[in-house]
Structure 1
Amino acid sequence: MTLDQYRSHVNVYFDPLVSIAIRCRLTPNFFTIAALLASAAAGVLFFFRMEFFAIVAVALNAFCDAMDGAVARATNAQSKRGDFLDHAVDRYADIFIITGIFAGGMVPWQIGVFALTGVLMSSYLGTQAQAVGVGRYYGGLLGRADRLVMILVVGIIDLLVPLSFYSLSLFGWMLLLFGIFGHITALQRFAYVWAKVE
């Protein structure tokens, strides 16, 4: 079960910020684009091994990613175009952040590519469920919210106490888990959708 399923329970904590955003006339698309820029910045910062600022950028990406949907719901501005933009930006965000981590040499590129394929396939099958009429499905072991939380936690630990096990850093083990759990999640989602469609 992934943290994505609990988004509605977290929304209440964003209500004061959503009200401020609405008063400032900030649109859902503003936060979606801000999330994209934050993820791109995170990728570049990870590439140059500026971990502290990269973690701050990931936190900003997570915040903006939560705010775009919250503002859309509060202003009744939900649309297919906005949903499409949000999902496209989320996939680019995954690519920017994960690629930045392994392209900068923090993790062997083989593990980075394995993580990236797992992340993209699990995300793809989650939204493909909607495309075939089953409805969006967030089930499985690892969702986007889980990954963002793991990046933040691992990043903070790595800044405070850099550790490695069997010649692999915490980021390396994290991306390895992204790959393993990502592909397991993809299989779980595939099985769920397959059982629902004729």
Structure 2
Amino acid sequence: MNLTKYRDHLIGLISPLSKVFAATGITPNQITLLSLLLGIAAGTLYGLNVAYAGAAALLLSGLLDFIDGGVARINKKASKFGAAIDWIVDKYVDCIVLLGIGLGGMVDMRLVAVAIIGSMINTFIKPVVYAEIGYQQKHDGKIKDPLEGIGIFGRPETVITLIVFSCLSAYTFFGYSAMTIAVAIVAIGTNLSALQRVFYLYWNRNRY
């Protein structure tokens, strides 16, 4: 499943919140910064083995990641810088949270490393496509590339998986902690998704 291709629908669901934020006069980039700060807080809480609070901070960070784009559209403040920094902050948050989980001793750091690699490569493929293939078509300030719906696992799935299993962190399944299972799912899902995107580009190499 790839929830990224339903991003516009998800943004529509939280549009009432976006309108509330837009009315306050806060800028999209300020909301993105808040998302980063909450992501850092989430990573810190995971590092302190406070999984429930870490999940709450990660959830708020994820919501703000959707809201900043909504505010940009409502107040007509979309910018290339904002679109770029949004991507960068997303990856910082993902890495910080996964590192926090590992450094807190909740999951083996080797598994965390594989999850971080998968998360980064799965996203890195897209700017490579933009740079090397030259795909530049935009919709509402964001590039809508052919890879958007390719792959079974993306950032939304990563965030949801970590939050859900954080709520189950007091339990073990088949001898493994809930957080170990969560990071394993992220590691397998993101790396498999990255491979799917590579294969898609290869099979469609004559189209671009």
Same fold (TM > 0.5): yes
Q: Deviations over 1:123-171 (max 9, x none)?
A: 1113332333235322201010111111111111225xx12423x2111
- After TM superposition, the structure 1 stretch with the greater mean CA deviation from structure 2, 113-122 or 70-79, is 70-79
Q: Does 1:13 align with 2:4?
A: no
Counting aligned pairs with the same residue, the percent is 28
Distance 1:143 1:193 in 2: 17
Aligned match of 1:151: 162
Distance 1:173 1:152 in 2: 12
Contact 1:115 1:180 in 2 (8 A): yes
- After TM superposition, the structure 1 stretch with the greater mean CA deviation from structure 2, 100-109 or 169-178, is 169-178
Q: CA deviation at 1:120?
A: 0.8
Selected match of 2:192 from 160, 177, 184: 184
Q: CA RMSD in A?
A: 1.6
Give the residue type in structure 2 aligned to 1:40.
I
Distance 1:183 1:56 in 2: 26
Aligned residues: 195
Aligned match of 1:174: 182
Counterparts in 2 of 1:127-142, with a 5 A limit? 127-131=127-131, 132-134=133-135, 136=145, 137-138=147-148, 139-142=150-153
Aligned match of 1:165: 174
Give the residue type in structure 1 aligned to 2:152.
L
Distance 2:105 2:134 in 1: 41
Contact 1:126 1:189 in 2 (8 A): no
Give the residue type in structure 2 aligned to 1:187.
L
The 3 A distance-change label for structure 1 pair 164 and 180 is same
Q: CA deviation at 1:34?
A: 0.7
Structure 2 segments unaligned to the other structure (5+ residues) = 136-143
- The TM-score normalised by the length of structure 1 is 0.91
Give the residue type in structure 1 aligned to 2:92.
Y
- After TM superposition, the structure 1 stretch with the greater mean CA deviation from structure 2, 129-138 or 7-16, is 129-138
Q: CA deviation at 1:179?
A: 1.4
Which one has a larger percent helix, Structure 1 or Structure 2? 1
Aligned match of 1:101: 101
Structure 1 segments unaligned to the other structure (5+ residues) = none
Q: Deviations over 1:34-83 (max 9, x none)?
A: 11101111111000101121111101111111111111122222221111
- After TM superposition, the structure 1 stretch with the greater mean CA deviation from structure 2, 66-75 or 80-89, is 66-75
Contact 2:161 2:186 in 1 (8 A): no
Give the residue type in structure 2 aligned to 1:153.
V
Give the residue type in structure 1 aligned to 2:172.
L
Q: CA deviation at 1:85?
A: 0.5
